[in-house]
Structure 1
Amino acid sequence: MIIRILAVISFALVFFLQSDVSFAEEIEIDIKGEVVNLTQGVGVGEMVSVALHVSSLDSPRQTQHTFTDSSSSFQFESVLYSPDNLYGLSTIYKGTVYVGDIVIESGSAKFTSLSVYDTSTDDDIIFLSKGSFSITGIDSLNRKISVLELATVSNDSKLTYVQGSGPMDLIRFGIPEGATNFVFDTLIPAAEYIQVDKGFALIASLPPGDHEIMYSYDIPYAGSQSEILKTWRYGAKSASILFPKGMVNLNADFETVNQDTIGEKVYTILESRNIKRGSETSISLTDLPTPKFLDRMSNQFGQMRYEYTGPVGLLLALVAIGTLGIFSTVRLRNRRTSWLAGSSEAQVISDQITELDNLHSENDLDDHLYRDRRDYLVKRLRLISEESEGN
């Protein structure tokens, strides 16, 4: 009898729990808002298209569309709500994509004001509020320097910057000649990039505010010294050059020098402020590592075409036998795994996430800026991990 009663109670609990879950999954909400032109301080009027985006990990993104009415308002009725979904809004106004978040609390969506702006092709309204140049690794065998650059492109006007009709109207960034393995990433909506002379150009509109971009590349070097010329097309209110201590010696005409520990690594940091538009910074690298003879031969032999490995291998064997008595000690001393000096790009980004967390915990960074920058770096770290797994 007791067992039967317990079974009934268990069945009832399961039924009610399932009912609660079903109810939570099937709740419907209304999403309301308006589209406001902040340049003019008025609503945009009627017939402006607004899109609602609903995405989750388990299903493809769903999109609904509606239009503003005469009061610049819009509404999406009876939207299926789940706490596991992400909800966002977007609109296209005068050729620019604008996005906005939807705040949902206690099963109800707050009224959302989606901001848009008039446009300008004058690039004087944009500038770099922050820029950083980081040496992330040095491959001594292939003689390549890995570089990561971060830039915060800012627009403090009340206009959205859009590119003009000429090729020089693009948002351009320079990279050193001979650079390879270029990777670009940004959270700017609908942003793309194209290769241009001496660098790349960002194809995007920039509304008022701060916009983060990140790009990395490898540059070759020949001897123990190299020089990199960094151009600041849009100037920079704050700029920094970072490199791990002990990896290489670096000199630049920046005003301040200090050191900081990021992710258990000591970085040397050069800093400068108020760099003028169009300025150039010469970055001099000395004491670059060079591969030893046997390491270089091993690396070149590994890259050799298959049909040549037999004859060349035999030749190397004959040479080794003829010089065995003289160079046996050297050969034994150099028989070890090649070492690639420097940290990987993933490690550097992990270090920057750690430093960002520390700044936030010390209340040196506001919550919104912290979330934006951390999400940006986590997204980049995930991309690197997926690329590594794919290879």
Structure 2
Amino acid sequence: MRAAASVAVLLAVLLLLPGQALAQEVGEVEIAGRVEHGADAASFDPAQARVTLNVLEGITLVSQDSALPDESGAFNFTATAVEGRTYFFSVEYQGANYSAVRDAGDLSEPVVVTVFDTTNDTSVLTVQSHTVIVTGAVPDEGFVEILERVMVRNDSDLTLTPDLNAQGPAMLSFLRFALPPGAYNLDVRSNITGGQVLEVDRGFAINSPVPPTAPGLPHQFEFVYRLDYNEPVIDLTRTMRFGAESVRFVVPVDVATPSSARLTDLGATELNGRLLRLLEGQDIAPAEVLPLAVADLPGKSAFDGARESAGEWYVRYVVPAVVGLTTAALLLLSLRRRRAVAMAGASREHLIAEARALRDAYDRHTIGTTAYEGRSRVIRDALVQAEVRDRLTEADGEGSTRD
């Protein structure tokens, strides 16, 4: 009984505590690091770089400090090491930001941040792959939802930075993506931190610097949008400004029929009970016009019949996971589940990673304040629940031992 009562009291106290109270302080530590140049070390002047340390607990900024590296590139910070906090180091150099992340237990290891000289020439970029997926249609409201995933390499030793002073609407020094006319509800995500999404003619641009990539680790960009339709056909043709080494066009066969004179139809494969048709092509030249279209989109009558037999309808997001295609092989896809559904039982480490990604998205202005605050509350609540689960598990174990 005493063990049960202790658990009940612990639960009540934990639920009343703010998230910060769950962290455990380890102590004050000296953090050493250095800024290195990734190419021409001889001409590198560390005085041009500025280092900032942001300490985060979940998605809350706890403290911020900055320092200038010495002539060798070395820098130091003094910080309080607290379990559960994230230590985010960023270096600004020639208008681009570079970063490194540490947990409290890793602060004794030297922090090394590599920087590069910059360029406004977008020819340093190569689109490794571009995948277009029609994820679903809502005939009752007359729209389709489309997901695109683009893998971009920078094989040079220069970081692409947009020329913010360039005149004209073209934004030629920006990383840009085309969108079909009438696209709306755009949501953009990437593994590049910082920057903003800007509307441009026939698409959008990202003003984030694009640093060189390591072999096998391209930059990833993912964006979702909607298109209204009144007819059963939608034209998705676009100009591939950067070209692409490979292009894939994926459409569920129960949603529409894909077509492209430039791509090869590789047939259909089943994934999670759904048949997906794949079209694929290689070596798309820069500025080449890529014809894409879908036909046989469902109308309201077809939707009503499906709803009567299937009950509740919902659109599934299918995130492409391309895993090695041969001549006869087809695309394998993994299902993306909404993050909020998995929050309740997520581990503490997973929730902290989610919080990090959410903060990055907010800083890049790819989500609004209302959405950010709503998701923040979900993550904070889940972090408290995760801590409660851990404490209850420990308490139950102690109670069993005493019994």
User: Structure 2-normalised TM-score?
Assistant: 0.66
Greater Rg by CA: 1
CA distance in 1, matches of 2:75, 2:67: 7
CA distance in 2, matches of 1:223, 1:340: 24
Q: Is contact 2:140-2:303 (8 Å) kept? A: no
Residue 66 (structure 1) aligns with: 67
SS of alignment partner, residue 124 of structure 1: helix
1:335 and 1:146, CA in 2 relative to 1: closer, same or farther beyond 3 A?
closer
Residue 76 (structure 1) aligns with: 77
Residue 93 (structure 1) aligns with: 93
CA distance in 1, matches of 2:116, 2:178: 29
1:147 to partner: Cα distance: 0.7
Q: Which has the higher contact order (CA 8 A, sep 6+)?
A: 2
1:285 to partner: Cα distance: 1.7
CA distance in 1, matches of 2:247, 2:29: 46
CA distance in 2, matches of 1:128, 1:151: 7
1:156 and 1:349, CA in 2 relative to 1: closer, same or farther beyond 3 A?
closer
Q: Is contact 1:47-1:69 (8 Å) kept? A: no
| 1:121 maps to 2:120 | yes
| 1:52 maps to 2:61 | no
SS of alignment partner, residue 266 of structure 1: strand
For residue 289 of structure 2, the aligned residue among 270, 276, 280 is: 280
SS of alignment partner, residue 292 of structure 1: helix
Q: Once superposed, what is the RMSD of the aligned Cα atoms? A: 3.9
| 1:247 maps to 2:246 | no
1:256 to partner: Cα distance: 5.2
CA distance in 2, matches of 1:100, 1:23: 22
CA distance in 1, matches of 2:310, 2:189: 31
Residue 28 (structure 1) aligns with: 28
Question: Which amino acid in structure 1 is aligned with residue 53 of structure 2?
Answer: L
1:275 to partner: Cα distance: 1.3
Residue 203 (structure 2) aligns with: 199
Q: Is contact 1:103-1:109 (8 Å) kept? A: no
Q: Is contact 1:263-1:352 (8 Å) kept? A: no
1:129 to partner: Cα distance: 1.2
Listed as ranges, the gaps of 5+ residues in structure 2 are 1-20, 322-331, 338-352, 362-366, 376-403
1:208 and 1:131, CA in 2 relative to 1: closer, same or farther beyond 3 A?
same
Residue 232 (structure 2) aligns with: 224
Question: Which amino acid in structure 1 is aligned with residue 160 of structure 2?
Answer: Y
Paired residues for 1:348-387 under 5 Å: 348=319
CA distance in 2, matches of 1:244, 1:293: 16
Q: Deviations over 1:163-190 (max 9, x none)?
A: 2324432322111112222222223222
1:29 and 1:340, CA in 2 relative to 1: closer, same or farther beyond 3 A?
same
SS of alignment partner, residue 236 of structure 2: strand
Residue 112 (structure 1) aligns with: 111
Question: Which amino acid in structure 2 is aligned with residue 138 of structure 1?
Answer: A
| 1:190 maps to 2:198 | no
Q: Is contact 1:130-1:151 (8 Å) kept? A: yes
CA distance in 1, matches of 2:238, 2:46: 46
Question: Which amino acid in structure 2 is aligned with residue 231 of structure 1?
Answer: T
SS of alignment partner, residue 183 of structure 1: strand
Question: Which amino acid in structure 2 is aligned with residue 119 of structure 1?
Answer: T
Residue 149 (structure 1) aligns with: 148
1:29 to partner: Cα distance: 2.3
1:219 to partner: Cα distance: 1.4
| 1:292 maps to 2:293 | no
| 1:175 maps to 2:189 | no
1:59 to partner: Cα distance: 4.5
Q: Is contact 1:247-1:341 (8 Å) kept? A: no
| 1:234 maps to 2:242 | yes
Q: Deviations over 1:335-384 (max 9, x none)?
A: 95998977333x6589955599xxxxxxxxxxxxxxx99x979x99xx89
CA distance in 1, matches of 2:250, 2:92: 39
Q: Is contact 1:36-1:44 (8 Å) kept? A: no
1:22 to partner: Cα distance: 12
1:44 and 1:294, CA in 2 relative to 1: closer, same or farther beyond 3 A?
closer
CA distance in 1, matches of 2:285, 2:265: 17
CA distance in 1, matches of 2:277, 2:307: 33
1:184 and 1:355, CA in 2 relative to 1: closer, same or farther beyond 3 A?
closer
Question: Which amino acid in structure 2 is aligned with residue 204 of structure 1?
Answer: S
Q: Deviations over 1:198-223 (max 9, x none)?
A: 11121121111232222121112222
CA distance in 2, matches of 1:155, 1:119: 12
| 1:343 maps to 2:315 | yes
Question: Which amino acid in structure 2 is aligned with residue 279 of structure 1?
Answer: E
Moved more, 162-171 or 225-234: 162-171
1:96 to partner: Cα distance: 0.9
SS of alignment partner, residue 46 of structure 1: helix
Q: Is contact 1:51-1:89 (8 Å) kept? A: yes
Q: Is contact 1:247-1:342 (8 Å) kept? A: no
CA distance in 1, matches of 2:64, 2:222: 29
CA distance in 1, matches of 2:314, 2:23: 54
SS of alignment partner, residue 26 of structure 1: strand
1:390 to partner: Cα distance: 6.5
Moved more, 109-118 or 251-260: 251-260
SS of alignment partner, residue 114 of structure 1: strand
CA distance in 1, matches of 2:120, 2:92: 17
Q: Is contact 2:319-2:335 (8 Å) kept? A: no
